[in-house]
C-alpha cells in the first residue's frame, strides 16, 4: 500500500499567506463608530437646513452690496471743495467770458446820446440847480428832445453831455399835446453821437426795452423791462390834460427820468419817457410808465425819419 505524503505546517510563511492573515485579523477586529459632532455644529446644520432659502437671499444681497461698495470706492468722484469750484469757475471765465446782457448792449449804444437837463436859477449870486430831467440828442448839431414839464418856467437851462461837457440850451419848439420840447445847445462835444430813432410800428407788448435817465438826479441810470401795452391814455394828476397814444412800459422810471429815451434791445429810441402812474402823491414808480412814441417826438423837431 502506497503511503500518502503528509506535509507539516511550516513556521515560515510566504508573502501571500501574511496578507491573508492580516486581512482575516482586520475582519475579525471590531470597528469603533466615529465620535458624534459637537452640539454647536449639529445646531448650525439644523439652522442652515431649515432656513436655507432666506439665508441664500440674504447672502446674495450682502454680496451685491459688497460689489457696489467696492465699485463706488474706485469710480465715484471725490467730494468737491470750495477751492475746486472757485478754480473751475475762474477757468471757465478765462476761457469763455460771460456775454453782456441785451440791456447792457443797448445801454452802451444809447449812452453817448443821453444828456442831463438842469433848470438853473440864480440864488445868492450863484447858479443853483432847481430841477433835473433828461434829454436825448437826435442831431449832431445839438438838437435835443425832452419834456415840456422838464424845462417849463426855467430861468436858464443847462445841459451836461456824456463826457461831462456842459452847455447852455434854449427851447426852440414845443408840442404841448405830447408834452414835448426841443432844445438847442450853444456848444457840443467834438465826438457827439446822435441816437438812432426807430418806428414803433413793429413794437409789441412783451418786447424788451430800457429806460435811461437821471432819476432823482442820480445817473445816468438804466432800468430794463418790457412793453406792457400800446396806445394808452394818461390823465395828468391835476386833471388838466390827457396824453394819448402812449407806450406803456414797466422799466423803472421816477422823477428825473422824464425826457429820457425808451430804447429797444438794439439801442434804438422808440419813445420819450413822459409820465408814471401812481394813485398816491408820492410820485414814485409802481410798475407803470408811459412814453410818447418817437414818431410824435420826431415831428416836434421837424423830422420825418420813418
Q: Is the pLDDT of residue 156 over 90?
A: yes
What average pLDDT does this structure show over 162-189? 94
What average pLDDT does this structure show over 86-108? 82
Q: Is the pLDDT of residue 220 over 50?
A: yes
> Cα–Cα–Cα angle for 56, 62, 68, nearest 5°?
135
Region class of 238: left (phi > 0), else alpha (psi between -120 and 50), else beta: alpha
d(CA 109, CA 90): 29
Query: Does 149 qualify as catalytic in the annotation?
Result: yes
d(CA 210, CA 222): 7
Closest CA to 281 of 235, 237, 215: 237
d(CA 58, CA 262): 72
Return the pLDDT at 24. Answer: 57
Query: Does 179 qualify as catalytic in the annotation?
Result: yes
In 35-77, alpha helices (H): 39-50, 52-75
DSSP-assigned letter for residue 205: T
Domains along the sequence of the chain with CATH? 107-300 (2.40.10.120)
Query: Does 258 qualify as catalytic in the annotation?
Result: yes
Among candidate residues 178, 179, 228, 250, the one labeled active-site is 179
Find where cell 451836461 sits. Answer: 160
d(CA 102, CA 95): 21
Return the pLDDT at 7. Answer: 47
What's the pLDDT tens digit per position in 258-305?
Answer: 999 999 999 999 999 999 998 777 778 999 999 999 998 878 777 665
d(CA 15, CA 107): 121
Q: Indicate the pLDDT class of residue 86, thresholds 50, 70 and 90.
A: confident
What's the pLDDT tens digit per position in 1-57?
Answer: 555 544 445 455 555 455 555 555 555 555 566 666 677 666 667 766 776 777 677
Helices (H) and strands (E) in the chain, counts: 7, 12
Q: Is the pLDDT of residue 226 over 90?
A: yes
What's the pLDDT tens digit per position in 100-136?
Answer: 899 999 999 999 999 999 998 866 556 778 899 999 9
Among candidate residues 113, 223, 224, 258, the one labeled active-site is 258
Q: What share of the chain is helix, strand, coil (3-state, %, to 5)?
A: 30, 30, 40
Please give the residue that has the higher pLDDT: either 269 or 88: 269
What's the pLDDT tens digit per position in 230-245?
Answer: 999 998 776 677 899 9
d(CA 236, CA 230): 18
Return the pLDDT at 172. Answer: 95
Return the pLDDT at 8. Answer: 47
Among candidate residues 149, 158, 168, 199, the one labeled active-site is 149
Amino acid at each position: 500500500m502506497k503511503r500518502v505524503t503528509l506535509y507539516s505546517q511550516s513556521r515560515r510563511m510566504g508573502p501571500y499567506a501574511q496578507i491573508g492573515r492580516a486581512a482575516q485579523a482586520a475582519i475579525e477586529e471590531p470597528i469603533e463608530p466615529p465620535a458624534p459632532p459637537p452640539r454647536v455644529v449639529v445646531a448650525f446644520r439644523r439652522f442652515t437646513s431649515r432656513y436655507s432659502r432666506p439665508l441664500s437671499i440674504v447672502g446674495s444681497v450682502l454680496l451685491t452690496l459688497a460689489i457696489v461698495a467696492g465699485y463706488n470706492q474706485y469710480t465715484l468722484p471725490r467730494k468737491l471743495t470750495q477751492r475746486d469750484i472757485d478754480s473751475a469757475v475762474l477757468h471757465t471765465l478765462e476761457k469763455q467770458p460771460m456775454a453782456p446782457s441785451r440791456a447792457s448792449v443797448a445801454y452802451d449804444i444809447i449812452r453817448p446820446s443821453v444828456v442831463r437837463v438842469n433848470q438853473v436859477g440864480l440864488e445868492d449870486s450863484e447858479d443853483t440847480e432847481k430841477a433835473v430831467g433828461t434829454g436825448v440828442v437826435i442831431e449832431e448839431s445839438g438838437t435835443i428832445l425832452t419834456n415840456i414839464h422838464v424845462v417849463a418856467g426855467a430861468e436858464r437851462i443847462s445841459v451836461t453831455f456824456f463826457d461831462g461837457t456842459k452847455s447852455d440850451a434854449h427851447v426852440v419848439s414845443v408840442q404841448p399835446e405830447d408834452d414835448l420840447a426841443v432844445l438847442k445847445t450853444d456848444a457840443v462835444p467834438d465826438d457827439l453821437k446822435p441816437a438812432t430813432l426807430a418806428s414803433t410800428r413793429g413794437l409789441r407788448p412783451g418786447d424788451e426795452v430800457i429806460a435811461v435817465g437821471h432819476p432823482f438826479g442820480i445817473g445816468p441810470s438804466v432800468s430794463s423791462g418790457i412793453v406792457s401795452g400800446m396806445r394808452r391814455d394818461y390823465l395828468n394828476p391835476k386833471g388838466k390834460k390827457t396824453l394819448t397814444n402812449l407806450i406803456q412800459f414797466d422799466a423803472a422810471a421816477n422823477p428825473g427820468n422824464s425826457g429820457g429815451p425808451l430804447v429797444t434791445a438794439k439801442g434804438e429810441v422808440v419813445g420819450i419817457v413822459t409820465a408814471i402812474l401812481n394813485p398816491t402823491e408820492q410820485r414814485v414808480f409802481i410798475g407803470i410808465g408811459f412814453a410818447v412814441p418817437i414818431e410824435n417826438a420826431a415831428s416836434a423837431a421837424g423830422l420825418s425819419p420813418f
